[in-house]
Amino acid sequence: MKYVLNPTPVRTANNFGINDITLNFKLPKTTKFDKMSIEDNKDLPIEINDDSMVLDNRIGLEIKSNKNIYINIPEGKVIKDTIRLLFKLESNTLIDNVIIDVGKNSKVKLLFVYEGTGFHFLKQKVKVHEYANAHITISNMLDYDSNSFIAIENELEDNSKLKHSLVEFGGKNRVSNYHSIQSGFCTENNVDTIYLGNKDELIDINYLIEQFGQKSKCNVRVQGALNDNAQKHFKGFIDFKEGCTKSIGKENENCTLISDKAISRSLPVLLCHEEDVEGAHGVSTGKIDEKKLFYIMTKGIPYEAAKKLIVKANFSSIIKDIPNDNCQSLIMKRVDEI
């Protein structure tokens, strides 16, 4: 069946080919999903059930969950270790509805890892209360024969900080939607994304950060590499609302094209309804820098290895912030497979 998904919040000409993504796939039947584990949860009250719930989402897919996860970080709780949630798909379907409530003055790091093959839809809703600090990593390491959909919605209260590290590596069709509302005063929302496209994979990334509160800050950093016939759409919107004085919003995308058949489409948008703000965006796209390649090859490293080394180097500033060594190693291993 044909689906028109992931609409941009502001439309531009249809013949620019970026307003939506059209995908052909069959929506699978959902059954119970068991292959899930939680590590280092430190006795937090994580509630899990298998109820079927309708998931409102900005991707535009009508879908019901088969796994609901409620994570409540109590007020004042500071958790040093990273809580890891691991999901292994085995040619089945996971539609997880994750609701995270980060209590006032608390601090937490969460890591979600998705592996295997299947149909995956994640709806994640995050509320970060006053003075709380959350770092959430979502690592999509699914195999090629998968469909991956990630819809994230955040709300940030006064003086809160939220960082998402997003690894978009798996699935033939990969659609993600990120929507943040920085309603509070002096909030900070950072998004670090790396994507890697191989074969005929299609990646559609659609981010919207709305700054309402004064002195809001956001920074979207996206690093990607496209190989073979892969296609990517990056649509990043920073929306400075009236009254968000002294706010700063930045977004930057860097796409490395490893193949001359890959296609990169970008739409980095700044929407501004407030005078006293600083907004900036940048996009750079191109092949691997030949000077860098030459330099590395003069050290005796073969061409293919040198290429991978440069892609890894581009990713490294984002990967190093992922709070798990094993996860970092897996990401690097995937780059080695290109």
Residues found near other proteins in the complex (CB under 8 A): 10-14, 16-19, 240, 242-243, 245, 255, 257-287
Going through the chain in order, the beta strands assigned E by DSSP cover 2-5, 21-24, 36-39, 46-49, 67-73, 78-102, 107-128, 133-142, 147-156, 161-168, 173-182, 188-197, 202-211, 217-226, 231-240, 247-257, 263-272, 277-287
Closest distance to other proteins from the beta carbon of 248 (Å):
10
Closest distance to other proteins from the beta carbon of 13 (Å):
6
Q: Residue 319: which H helix or E strand, with range?
A: helix 303-319
**Residue nearer to other proteins on the CB measure, 145 or 276:** 276
**Residue nearer to other proteins on the CB measure, 12 or 317:** 12
Closest distance to other proteins from the beta carbon of 330 (Å):
26
How many whole angstroms separate alpha carbon 307 and alpha carbon 313?
Answer: 10
How many whole angstroms separate alpha carbon 55 and alpha carbon 66?
Answer: 11
Could you tell me if 170 and 141 are in contact, meaning their C-beta atoms sit under 8 angstroms apart?
A: yes
**Residue nearer to other proteins on the CB measure, 1 or 13:** 13
Closest distance to other proteins from the beta carbon of 219 (Å):
15
Closest distance to other proteins from the beta carbon of 300 (Å):
25
- What is the signed CA dihedral for 56, 60, 66, 69, rounded to 10 degrees? -50
Closest distance to other proteins from the beta carbon of 226 (Å):
8
Q: How far is CA 213 from the centre of its chain?
A: 23
**Residue nearer to other proteins on the CB measure, 287 or 333:** 287
**Residue nearer to other proteins on the CB measure, 27 or 283:** 283
Interhelix angle 325-336/303-319, nearest 10 degrees? 150
How many whole angstroms separate alpha carbon 49 and alpha carbon 127?
Answer: 20
Closest distance to other proteins from the beta carbon of 257 (Å):
4
DSSP 8-state class, residue 19: S
**Residue nearer to other proteins on the CB measure, 18 or 128:** 18
